[in-house]
Amino acid sequence: MIDLTRARNETPGIRSVAHFNNAGAALMPQIVLEAVKTHLDLEAEIGGYEAARTVTERLEGVYASLARLINCSPREIAVVENATRAWDMAFYSIPFRAGDRILTSQAEYASNYIAYLQVAKRSGAIVEVIPNDAYGQVDIEQLAKLLERPTRLVSITHIPTNGGLVNPAAEIGQLTRERGVLYLLDACQSVGQMPVDVAAIGCDLLSATSRKYLRGPRGVGFLYVREGVLEGLEPPFLDLHAATWVAPQCYELQPTAKRFENWECSIAAKLGLGVAVDYALRWGLETTWLYVQKLGQYMREAVSELPGVQMHDQGRVQCGIVSFTLAGHTPDAIRQCLSEQKINVNVSRAPSTLLDMTYRGIQDLVRASVHYYNNLEEIDRMVKALQAMMHEVRV
């Protein structure tokens, strides 16, 4: 069980807001906040380069912590500016050729799909969408049929930005392993919310962020690259950190996943990420996942009982993201009304997951996402605020 009192005492932000935008950026615990601030203070006192030299061992410890988090070797971890850059560095390192097939999901995130389209335009690769099953998630049987033809890459968003579903990542991995197909998993919304084990999933590449369910600072993310595929991938750009200039006409890549990094980074954010990972591990990802699912289901049921509400969650397995619309109120108006009452939610729009939202006839929706420091009272307060909005319209 979650020690909710402790979780809330260690989260300064909960004194100001009921925060249901954890799929956007979660509230940092005090220990992460202090780690970031302390290093920034040190940089101000003695200089950035000098401050970095004092924390060399702690920086290496970040890789070990991330390796424990997703069950891999520290050599398979790169720490970069954000999850988008992590995903891009992986995707654009793949040498696509004309006719190469990229299989992806219907609920794929816009940034990823735009990259598919750009590479297809440049190389002649082909983008194909895996149909959904009856639950709105990737249809494993249809994927198996698609993989009967040669495929270069299967690229999936584990938990889409909207809709609450958890795609069957391990079942996808079993198929890609059997057929020797490269598998890239966008785990931006899942890492920190649920256990993520790259060995069990069977992905070759995985990208994730600090700021969402890991509760770390913004401006830092990480990439996992399985050692078995590392030598076949050269990052789209290099610097003197990713590679060594060994002769006037020759360079050598880093032998580890650090070839996907670059030299300049926020040391404070990187340290904060490491502290956030260790903090998440101490709570236990299994425990976190069970409680987040419980809270998500409580919110889903409570909101769905309101007249005029339409729920938009999908998936056989559902997470802590709850999506809905309310008749007579735009999602933006709902967000603003709740914000005025110190309740944070977000709005997902069609361009973020264009195929999914268009197929379902949704222009935009409210996205409320819970974490383990939230409680039932906060959810009840949000529901009462929505009820009040409906009452004002009737009057």
In the chain, what are the domain boundaries? 4-25+284-389, 30-282
Alpha-carbon torsion 81, 86, 90, 92, what sign? negative
Residue type, 43: E
CATH 3.40.640.10: does it fit domain 30-282?
A: yes
Q: Which residues of 37-54 are buried (b: 16+ CB within 10 A; e: fewer)?
A: eebbebbeeeeeeebbee
CA distance 266 to 98: 38
Residue-wise pLDDT tens digits, 342-376: 999 999 999 999 999 999 999 999 999 999 999 99
Rounded Cα distance between 35 and 14, Å, is: 19
Mean pLDDT along residues 239-266: 97
Give per-residue pLDDT as tens, 85-96: 999 999 999 999
- The stretch 145-156 carries a mean pLDDT of 98
Band of pLDDT at residue 395, cut at 50, 70 and 90: very low
Distance CA(162)–CA(353), nearest Å, equals 8
What is the model's pLDDT at position 390?
Answer: 83
Over pLDDT 70: what percentage of the chain?
A: 99
pLDDT tens digits along 57-90: 999 999 999 999 999 999 999 999 999 999 999 9
The average pLDDT across 282-302 equals 98
Classify domain 4-25+284-389 at the CATH class level.
alpha beta
Question: Quick one: pLDDT band at residue 393, thresholds 50, 70, 90?
Answer: low
Between β-strands 250-253 and 243-247, what pairing exists: parallel, antiparallel or unpaired? antiparallel
CB 277 within 8 A of CB 74: no
CA angle 75, 76, 77 (to 5 degrees): 95
Q: What is the pTM of this model?
A: 0.96
